[in-house]
Structure formats: structure tokens, C-alpha cells
Structure 1
């Protein structure tokens, strides 16, 4: 991982069935939406979606974003896309999963087409809510977060660490089950990112503040290890549209992106995992009309992909495109 300083740049890249933020200069043709603007919020406050007319100029520049078209469906197999991660070994491949059912990872290509289905060997599904890719000895690993707990009753949650498979594989290498318990009682969470050798779980903010918990990726399989509560992101619980449903860290370690039903919220990683005041940059994606937006993942070139879960198996899981520029 690179250090936690500097500026991460965003722009636009077409990535088939996912929302994408990439390095680019935005151009807007006939019929395209004018840009919505990402505003630097005051520290540790959750705000409503930004209006498209406002621009906030900060010490890190101005970030201007706009949805590019509407949503498009993913394949029938992916009926509850709860998380998404960008492959580190196979260019143009994205990994996603459902939150229930069999322990399967789905490989999706850059057009949103199914490229493979891989069973995670030794894993079980209680409530899979996120997936992240991070380096591990000898290559790349996927970290699958079985952390959902709507009733906040689980004695521990599980993160499965597995060597990244190939899309053509039918089964993965054996997964390691990292069992984790909260130091202050069970929590409901849907978001996880892996950064600087640590697993970070972000709670939803439904019954209390949005909080970040951390444990080393080296936590031994077997008996549950205790997470460390590192900070609150908000001072209190938040309304439904602002609950955190997914997260990921940029490959260079500079940024952490979280998503809600309506927004993408970008934090400087050094602020989020440290003790500095938080100054999130917020991008409204409400105009996309996603049903239960949950997945978010950074690509190696600095883009983001977003997926939505769909409408309780009645409406397809979706993807869309978001283009951004930073000056």
C-alpha cells in the first residue's frame, strides 16, 4: 500500500455494468446531465445530497461529478449484489456476490456479463455484505465479509480470506475464516475495507453512530479476535438514506469510499483511520434511481464501480456510470 498523503484524482471510464469514477476530463454532450458537485462537508457531520448547482473549493481542489446515463441490469444469477471488488489478477474482471444462498463469487466482465462462478471452498453464508481485494503473501486475496446482523445478536462475525481465483475456476482454494467480535456488543454492519494490513468494518448507523472497527488481517483463524473501535464517523445514528452499505480503500491507500442509498462519500484515508477531523467529499447518486445500492470498489487506475442489490428479487441488480473530474 502507498502512503496516506496526497491527492487522488477522479474522472470517467465506461465499465459496462458498474458505476465508474476514473481519471478524466468531463465532457457533456447533448442530453447528458450537467454535473453534480461533491462538497467538502464540515468535520464529522452527515449532510443531505448536494444540489447540482453548488461547487465547493477546498485545499484538495474541486470535485465535480455527474451520472452518465441510467442504470442497467446485471445477470439473473446476481439478484442481490451486496458488494463488489475489482480483480487484481485479471484485467477487466469484477467480483460480486449475493447476500444469501450459496457461498459463490461471481466474475463479471467490463460489460456486466457473467464471466464465471466460483464456489468459496470452506465458506458458509449467514449474511454476506461486502467484498474487498487486498495484497496477501504471494499475490492477491479476496476478503468476503459475512458481517450482516439486522438484529444485532451475532456473538461474532466472519471475514473469509481466500486467494483470488480465476474466473474459469469452479472452486477457490480453501478459505480462511477470520472470526471477529465487537468489544461493545453485537453491531449491524454492511461495509468493510482492507487497508494497511488491517480489516476495517463500518457499522450502518441504524441504532447508533456510524463507527469504524479494526482488526489485523493476521488475526488467527479459530477463536474470535476482538475488534478495536477506532472512531465514530457520526455523532449519532443516521436516517435510512444515510446508512453505510458498502466501502472500499483505493489501491494507493489514499482514499476510502463509502456508499449509502443516495450518496458516495469519499474520505482521506489518513483522516478516517487516524484521529484527524473528518472532511468527507459527497457525491449524490440519487438520480440513478438504484434500488438498494450497496456495492462499491476501487479499480487500480483510480476508478470506482458501484452496484445495487435490486428490488427484493423482483427487480434486477443494477449498475450505472458516474463521471467525475477534479481540479
Structure 2
């Protein structure tokens, strides 16, 4: 851990200690989705670098998370307050750079989709999408159901944000380091996964993810330059919106009838109004409770809840 990371961790601890004591309150703003609330804290070393998180389709109070690179190929089971419930090894998978996690139903069977899509150096000739049937938190292992090997038609990209359109069995990927952001689409044949690599098609670009303001650049010069980078995403199962998480905030893009996802992402989004969360990289959506849960890498990591209005 570098000196600036240690200093940042101290600042975060001070901030969230105040939040837990009730001194944090979001400023009311009609443009935001809902006021964020602190509902939990990650402290266990097994979940030291959460880069993706999703809500269980089996148990409403269960979360699944994955760690970034340099960690085992495993799913981590959590409760909504951040308690670690168990580790499930994913047989046949490799954690090169796991960056996102999605849950979905297929033939009324809960599944998890793991996005091994990180590429900090822009050197990977292919990325991987792993799919498993959702295990129970006390399982030791889970076998792969599908493995999709994917390449980009226009060269390697670092991707931390993916979202799934279950109505069309299409996965969308958002380039992290591109400005404007690139949107890529890849069809996923769950019934008969291809044995060869498949190509992610570039759908287009969108420039609606806000970057840092001059005031933010002056106040946080080391971090503000990354504020416009997409680090996580989640879509409504009905296809009515997608939320893109960044180092600056989370942004809800509404999708109206007849719109493509690119058209939706090109519209002005609704900001969540999150407090500064260094390395915010994981967001999950619970349709039943109309609630988003957001957390960060590095311990201790807060879990924030944001409700739809």
C-alpha cells in the first residue's frame, strides 16, 4: 500500500465514523435518485478488494461479491451489513482481473455472470465471461456452466462496467479509459456457447458521464482526473434504466420505449449524489426493494443504500 493510499484510508475512516454517528446527511436535491444511507461495512480480509457485487436471486438478504486480480477465482457471500458468510470456489475459472458481477434468471434458475474484463495495460488478446448456477453460501465449490471468450474488434480495452439485457441475451460493456466512453455489445448464446472467441461489436460512444469540475480538480488533484471513468453498472431487469457507477458518483440513465441502450446512455442522467467514495467499483440493484447497494475496494469499505424515489 502506498503512502497516499494510507492517507486516503485515514480520511475515509474519519468520514465514515462521522457518518455512522449520524453526522452525515445528503443535501436535498431534486435531480438525485435518492439520499444515500450507510447500511454496512466490509471488514473481512476475504473481501479486501471488492470489484463487483450483486443481489442473490435465491435469498433476498444475501449478496455475492468478487475480488479484483491477485485473488482466487471465488465468489464471496455477504449479508447486507457486510458480514462475510462464506467463500465458493469457481471450478475451471481463472481470476485474471475480475471486475463486475451480475445476477439473472434463466429458465427460472438463478445464475451469476462474472466479468473477467479488466485490462489495465491494454494487453489482453481476449477477456472472459464466466456463468455459473447460483450456489448456496455454504457450498465449497461451484462448476462453470458457460465460458465465453471475447475479443474487441477495435483492439484491447479495460472494462470494469458491464450490464446484461436478459430480454435479448446481450451483454454490454463500457470502456473505462475511453473519452467519450465506448459501448460494446456481445450476444451470449447460453444454450450453446461457442467454442471459439466471439467479437464484441462497438455500438457507439456516449459523452454523458460527467468528469471532474474545476473545483474538484483543485480539491482532489490526484483523484479527480479519474472521476469520469465507469467502474460498475447494473440494468433494470425490465430494461427501463441502467446505472453507471464512476469514481465521482453513480448515474441513472432512463430508457424509454423503443430506445436502444446507446440512445438511453446519450441522454442526461440523474446523479445519485454520493459522497466521495475512493475506488467505488461495485453496485447492485434489488428490484424487489427498489434499492441500490454500492461499495468500494480497500478495507474498511462502506456499503451505501440508495432507494428509488
TM-score, reference length from structure 2: 0.79
Asked if 1:291 is matched to 2:278, the reply is yes
Aligned to 1:153: 123
2:271 to 277, 282, 307: 282
Higher strand share: 2
TM-score, reference length from structure 1: 0.75
Q: Is the 8 A contact 1:245 1:260 kept in 2?
A: yes
Counterparts in 2 of 1:210 and 1:110: CA distance versus 1, 3 Å: same
Runs of 4+ deviating beyond 3 Å: 235-239, 269-272, 274-277, 321-324
Counterparts in 2 of 1:178 and 1:211: CA distance versus 1, 3 Å: same
Higher helix share: 2
Structure number with higher relative contact order (C-alpha < 8 Å, ≥ 6 residues apart): 1
Q: Is the 8 A contact 1:176 1:221 kept in 2?
A: no
Aligned to 1:33: 25
- In the TM superposition, 1:225-264 aligns within 5 A as 225-234=198-207, 239-264=225-250
How many residues end up aligned between the 2 structures?
Answer: 266
**CA deviation vs aligned residue, 1:151-188 (integer Å, no higher than 9, x gap):** 11111110101111111111113242101111111111
Counterparts in 2 of 1:324 and 1:274: CA distance versus 1, 3 Å: closer
Counterparts in 2 of 1:236 and 1:182: CA distance versus 1, 3 Å: farther
Q: Is the 8 A contact 1:248 1:296 kept in 2?
A: yes
CA separation in 1, counterparts of 2:208 and 2:283? Answer: 24
Unmatched 5+ residue regions in structure 1?
Answer: 1-29, 38-54, 57-62
Asked if 1:193 is matched to 2:163, the reply is yes
Shift of 1:115: 1.7
Shift of 1:247: 0.4
Asked if 1:309 is matched to 2:297, the reply is yes
Unmatched 5+ residue regions in structure 2?
Answer: 1-21, 212-224
- In the TM superposition, 1:67-82 aligns within 5 A as 67-69=36-38, 72-82=41-51
